[in-house]
Amino acid sequence: MTYYMERNLFTMNHQHKVAQYRAIDLFAGIGGIRLGFQHAFQENIEFVFASEIDKYACETYYANYGEKPYGDITKIDEKNIPPFDILLGGFPCQAFSIAGLRKGFEDTRGTLFFEIARIVEHHKPQVVFLENVKGFKNHDKGTTFKVVKETLQNLGYKVFAEVLNAKDFGVPQNRERIYIIAFLDHSIEFEFPQKIEQGLQVKKLLQNKVDDKYYYNDKPLYEKIKDDVNNPESIYQWRRQYVRENKSGVCPTLTANMGMGGHNVPIVRDKKGIRKLTPRECLNFQGFPENFILPSNQVDSQLYKQSGNSVVVPVINHIALKIKNILEK
C-alpha cells in the first residue's frame, strides 16, 4: 500500500482503551508530531498534556483533537504536568553560547530548550523526541547542539541524532530536519529508518478545484512570471526578480514565512493558469491526512504559517514506529 493510499488512514480519534504509554506534546503547533506517533502507536498511546503559545495553532489543534493546548510553557510548573513516558517537542532553535558546557541543564537557561530540560529532569520519561531545522546541528558553531546533547546526557539519557529528508520517505517535499531521540535505557541501540523507494508524485497532492483568489492571472505579477512558470509538472519559487523552477520533482521547503504575504508560497501552473499552492495543498505536502481540519474562521496567512511551522507527518511516523518496536522489546 502506497503512502498516498494510506493518507486517509491516519487516526485522530481519542483512545478508549487503557494506553500503554502516556505522552506530552510540547511546542505542539497543530499537532503534526502527535499525529505521527498516534498513527504508529495506535491505541497504545494516550496524550495527557499539550502546550502551544500561538492562539491560532491552538484553535486548529482543538478542532482536530478536541483538546486545547495549555499556553506559554515558561509559565507552567513541571509539577503540574501529569506523569508521562514520552516527551515530544519541536522546539524553536536558539543560541546558547556557553563557554563551559558542563553545568548540566543550567547551561540552557534563557532558552526554550530549558523548558524541556526542567520537565525531563522532574519526570524522567522513557523517551524524549525532539525535532528542529537541519542547521540546528551547526547552529552557533555547533554549541547549541552540543549543549542540548550534553544536557540530555547529564540528565541520564542516551542520545541519538540524525538529519532526514522528507523526500526520502514518500513525501514530495525537499525538507531536511534533525531528529534527536533520547532514551533513559542505555542498553538501547537505536537506528533511524532507512530511505524508502517510492515514486514521488506532486500532482496527486494538488487540488482539482481551486478558488480564483489563489491565481495570479489577473494580477501584476503574472506578466513577470508567465514565461518562466511554463511547466505543469514542476513547482516554482518566486525569488524577488526571478522565478526558480524546482526540477527535482518535489516541492521546495515550506516555511512559516508563507504566512507573511509577498510571494513566499510555491507556485504551479495548471489548466486555468498560474497560482500559488493553497493552505490545504501545503498540508498535503506535509503529509497530513485529507480529513485534517482547517478552521474556516482563520485567514490564509495563519494557515500558511501553521503549515510551514509544522512537520512532515510520515517521517515522524517512520521514526515513531522504530521507537515503538524498541520499547516493545
pLDDT tops 60 at residue 19:
yes
> Catalytic: 93?
yes
Could you give the angle at the alpha carbon of 146 between the alpha carbons of 36 and 91, nearest 5°? 35
Q: Reply yes or no on whether the pLDDT at 15 is more than 60.
A: no
Give the pLDDT confidence score for residue 194 in this predicted structure: 94
Kindly report the CA angle at 202 between 213 and 305, in degrees rounded to 5?
50
Of 9-23, 81-95, 211-225, 249-263, the range with the lowest mean pLDDT is: 9-23
The whole-number pLDDT of residue 263 equals 78
Higher pLDDT: 111 or 322? It is 322
Query: What per-residue confidence (pLDDT) applies to 8?
Result: 45
Q: Which of 7-11, 76-80, 306-310 has the lowest mean pLDDT?
A: 7-11
* Separation CA 162–CA 248 (nearest Å): 23
Q: What pLDDT score was predicted for residue 17?
A: 56
| pLDDT more than 70, % of the chain | 89
pLDDT at 3 over 80: no
Q: Which residue has the higher pLDDT, 74 or 143?
A: 74
Query: Contact 266/252 with Cβ under 8 angstroms?
Result: yes
Please report where in the chains the cell 516554482 appears, as a residue. Answer: 236
Residues in a beta bridge with 5: none
pLDDT digits (tens, 9 = 90+) for 35-53: 999 999 999 999 999 999 9
The pLDDT tens digits of the residues spanning 112-157 come to 999 999 999 999 999 999 999 998 888 888 888 988 999 999 999 9
Domains along the sequence of the chain with CATH: 3-198+311-328 (3.40.50.150), 202-308 (3.90.120.10)
Of the candidates 108, 104, 52, 103, which has an alpha carbon nearest to the alpha carbon of residue 75? 52
H or E, element range at 23: strand 21-26
pLDDT score, position 200: 72
To 10 degrees, what angle do helices 313-328 and 32-41 make? 40
Q: Look up the pTM and report it.
A: 0.90
CA 63 – CA 86 distance, rounded (Å): 23
Mean pLDDT of 4-27: 64
Alpha carbons 217 and 297: distance in angstroms, whole number = 26
> Residue 11 carries which side chain, given as an amino acid letter?
T
Q: pLDDT tens digit string along 268-313?
A: 999 999 999 999 999 999 999 999 999 999 999 999 999 999 999 9
pLDDT at 16 over 70: no
Rounding to the nearest 10 degrees, give the CA dihedral for residues 242, 244, 245, 247.
150
* In contact, 85 and 22? CB cutoff 8 Å: yes
* pLDDT band at residue 202 using 50, 70 and 90 as cut-offs: confident
